[in-house]
Amino acid sequence: MCLVVCLLPGVVLHAGGQTPAGVTSALRVLEAALTSAPPRLQELSFATLSHYQCSGALPGDACERLVARCASHSWWEVRLMNLPNAFRAPLPRRVRRQVIEQAIRDASPHVSRAAAKLLAEHPEAWERKMLVDLSQSRDSVVRQHAAAALVRLGETPYAEVLEKALTSDDSDAALEAARHILALGTREQQPARRVLRRMLEDRDEITRANAIYGISELPNPPWDGEDIERSLADDSPMVRLAMLEALPSVRLSENGAPSGFEMALKRWGEERTPEVRVEILNSVARMESLGKVSPHAVEKFLGLALQDEEEDGPRLVAMGMLACHARPEYERRLLAVAQDPRRGLNERLVALSWLGQCHDTRVIEPLVKTMGEGRSHDADVQALRIACAAAVVRLHASPRSPRTLAPGGAGPRSKGRADAWTLGAQLQRQSR
């Protein structure tokens, strides 16, 4: 399962105008952190710089330099996060070639598999020889992606590679083969569906979770209400998290079937694991951003959730969502948490993440001040300084003031997306 972290989606670079001094300082903090900070903070820095420099219809020279530079970054997850940028149409072909050729030889199977998967989804004719070579890879998952890419380019005999993999003992290869067969509309549709069905009911929790991720990536995922409700109630938190991540994109055709929002609300009343409760909130936020539930219904749910929630993680996420609904009292509370040295690192990082997502540029000044206070070499102080810088750049780059903006983002979906609360916990461990 690959992890791709996209914490700061939707940033748009503004043409013209002078960058304020505080924002320039924040950019310098992120540039330095990209090579010298602990791994998770490098990811946060890259995510922010990538969206700042590469979003928009015509990414410029700064984006090209960032993509080329990070193709050989020392941390594999930054290399992984960088891959989708190489597939942006305006970037020169030589940059795409450089990134892909390095990625398919990468020592991390997560990176090489992700590169092959992107090639399967966006193949170009000039890559045909490379794809033929990859179809003979020792990595069975890479072979499935390469075969799918060649089928997309008109090489229909490679569909047999996918069909044979349906019976493979390698569950990852079988999953990808089934997913490609259904997406491409080739033969063996029913066997492919049976493979996915078996995986959803497998004894192994990782297999069940990966099956959910795989199915959710299909253009028209073959879900039914029973599958979803069973996965939401699974004994494994990993499986429940996977289903909640997929839930916003689910479309059920059965008459009278509960909506994804109704399923999330039901699970909220039953769920006891704080990390999974956080994901329920994130799932509801993404449903709202997709127009599947009204802001009024979300606010009502959040108000009730805050009344009964005792854990800091879900409480902070609920407060962040309300702050993004133009509720200034919650934004003030988040800012107070972010600036309070008595609060734990985890809580302060989560507060900063949400402040950067609500597009209220009035908080830039206090965040720049907080960023300037973090001059010591203490790991926690540096983590806060980098998180402040990320929030400042996000706010500067996208100074809209919508009623609500859910975390979640543009660009390729990723398995195992890290939400703000989870990232805070990871930073707390790895900034030391």
Mean pLDDT in residue range 265-287 = 95
Give the span between the Cα atoms of 7 and 411, in whole angstroms.
Answer: 12
Run of H or E residues at 287: helix 274-289
**Residue 231 C-alpha from the chain's centroid:** 21
**Residue for token pair 């991720």:** 213
Vertex 64, ends 62 and 69: CA angle to 5°?
95
Per residue in 159-211, pLDDT tens?
Answer: 999 999 999 999 999 999 999 999 999 989 999 999 999 999 999 999 999 99
Residues 250 and 221 sit within 8 Å (Cβ to Cβ): yes
Buried (b) or exposed (e) across 152-166, using 16+ Cβ within 10 A?
Answer: beebeebbebbbebb
- Cα–Cα distance, 402 to 384 (Å, whole number): 26
Q: How far is CA 190 from CA 163, 166, 182, 196, 222, in A?
A: 11, 11, 9, 10, 12
Helices (H), 72-188: 76-86, 93-104, 109-121, 128-134, 140-152, 159-165, 171-184
Boundaries of every domain in the chain: 226-248+259-289, 312-406+419-432
Q: What is the pLDDT confidence band of residue 18, given thresholds at 50, 70 and 90?
A: low
Residues contacting 377, CB < 8 A, separation 6+: none
The residue assigned the tokens 């019976």 is 167
Pick from 1, 3, 413, 4: nearest CA to 217 = 413
Higher pLDDT, 158 or 253: 158
**pLDDT tens digit string along 290-340?**
999 999 999 999 999 999 899 999 999 999 999 999 888 999 999 999 999
Tokens read off for 315: 């409480």
Q: What is the pLDDT of residues 399-408, one digit of tens each?
A: 654 333 333 3
Looking at residue 397, what is its pLDDT?
Answer: 84
Mean of per-residue pLDDT scores for the chain? 86
User: Rounded CA gap, 92 and 65, in Å?
Assistant: 11
Nearest to 244 by CA among 295, 209, 192, 196: 209
